[in-house]
């Protein structure tokens, strides 16, 4: 008997000893495998039976047969475990198994549907709030712009009720009223000095347009900037601001009530947004008002005009007014 055969023999002998309490593998009886139709016998008992019939001259055959017995016993144990798990289900699970069989053909659904649903609802709610805020803001601005073209009761049909008397402080610290602008064509713009981009762009466009008009048609027009942020736009702040655009640009400011009055007279919409102390922006109408030498409203020009378009529009209105 070879060394490896002898080692496997001792292993099997220990296994038989652990199962049956005996390790007799030295008998010389002839090896007989039980027929397949025989009653299932534990592998340890079958190996012990083989030991009783073992012949010293047939170790290889005994080892081969013993290994087959152990492998067969392992497979049977596995099959019995699977059958036991299948039989442990309740008898009334047939309907449930049919339902599972039907649903097995459909794609699997995502786990934790409540979490995904909550996330989706949160997104929808946030988008709805943003849309509502933007819509409300646009409606306010459009309402303010529509008022610009509405005629004042009792005035001539088609003539807008824009303008009126005011008393403010210019960038030199002197009191000024609307009467001091009479006799000249005036172009008004409402904004604030802390405006990051729109106000500087519009003021630059305004002063360039009046230079074009003056050079082309020799028509002097007075540019005026009125602040809608009197809390921060002091006389000094206005003075430093207007001198960056044009030497003839007049800056006006005043008290909260005075600014509110002139804004109402010219149908100007303005409102603080994103307020954090003195760090805030002011949402306002982006409109220039052309006033005739009587300080009566002629036409307004929106943001969609460029320099040449603004200059051409003002010249056209002036010529039509003189005719």
- Where is the binding site for Cu cation, in residues? 195, 199, 284
With 0-12 CB in 10 A as exposed, 13-18 as middle and 19+ as buried, what is 37?
Answer: exposed
Residue with tokens 């409300």: 136
Residues 6+ apart with CB under 8 A from 168: 175, 176, 177, 226, 252, 253, 254, 258, 259, 262
207, 223 contact by CB (below 8 A): yes
Residue with tokens 């200059």: 311
Query: Measured over all CA atoms, what is the biggest interatomic distance in the chain, rounded to whole angstroms?
Result: 140
User: How is residue 176 written in tokens?
Assistant: 């000024």
Residue with tokens 């290889």: 60
Q: Which residues are annotated as a binding site?
A: 195, 199, 284
304, 199 contact by CB (below 8 A): no
Radius of gyration of the chain (CA): 50
CA-to-CA dists, residue 91 to 61, 87, 98, 204, angstroms: 47, 9, 13, 87
Three-class secondary structure of residue 158 per DSSP: coil
Count CB-CB contacts under 10 A for residue 54: 24
279, 225 contact by CB (below 8 A): no
Residue with tokens 């001198």: 243
Question: How many residues comprise the chain?
Answer: 323
User: How is residue 112 written in tokens?
Assistant: 């934790």
User: How is residue 289 written in tokens?
Assistant: 């008002």
């Amino acid at each position: 008997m070879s060394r490896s055969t002898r080692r496997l023999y001792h292993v099997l002998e220990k296994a038989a000893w652990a199962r049956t309490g005996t390790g007799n593998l030295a008998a010389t009886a002839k090896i007989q495998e039980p027929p397949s139709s025989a009653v299932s016998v534990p592998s340890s008992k079958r190996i012990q039976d083989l030991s009783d019939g073992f012949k010293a001259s047939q170790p290889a055959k005994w080892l081969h047969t013993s290994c087959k017995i152990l492998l067969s016993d392992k497979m049977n144990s596995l099959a019995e475990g699977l059958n036991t798990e299948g039989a442990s289900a309740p008898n009334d699970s047939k309907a449930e198994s049919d339902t599972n069989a039907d649903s097995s053909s459909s794609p699997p659904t995502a786990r934790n549907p409540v979490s995904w649903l909550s996330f989706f609802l949160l997104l929808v709610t946030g988008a709805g709030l943003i849309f509502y805020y933007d819509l409300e803001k646009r409606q306010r601005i459009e309402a303010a712009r529509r008022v610009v073209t509405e005629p004042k009761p009792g005035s001539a049909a088609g003539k807008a009720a824009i303008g009126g008397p005011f008393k403010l402080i210019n960038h030199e610290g002197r009191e000024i009223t609307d009467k001091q602008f009479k006799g000249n064509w005036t172009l008004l713009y409402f904004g604030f000095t802390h405006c990051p981009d729109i106000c500087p762009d519009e003021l630059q466009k305004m002063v360039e347009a009046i230079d074009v008009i003056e050079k082309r048609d020799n028509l002097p027009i007075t540019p005026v900037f009125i602040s809608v942020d009197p809390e921060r736009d002091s006389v000094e702040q206005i003075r430093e601001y207007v001198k960056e655009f044009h030497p003839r640009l007049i800056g006006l400011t005043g008290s909260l009530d005075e600014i509110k009055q002139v804004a109402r007279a010219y149908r100007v919409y303005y409102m603080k947004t994103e307020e954090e102390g003195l760090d805030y922006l002011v949402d306002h109408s982006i409109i220039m008002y052309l006033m005739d030498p009587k300080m009566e409203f002629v036409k307004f020009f929106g943001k969609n005009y460029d320099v040449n378009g603004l200059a051409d529009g003002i010249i056209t209105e002036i010529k039509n007014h003189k005719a």
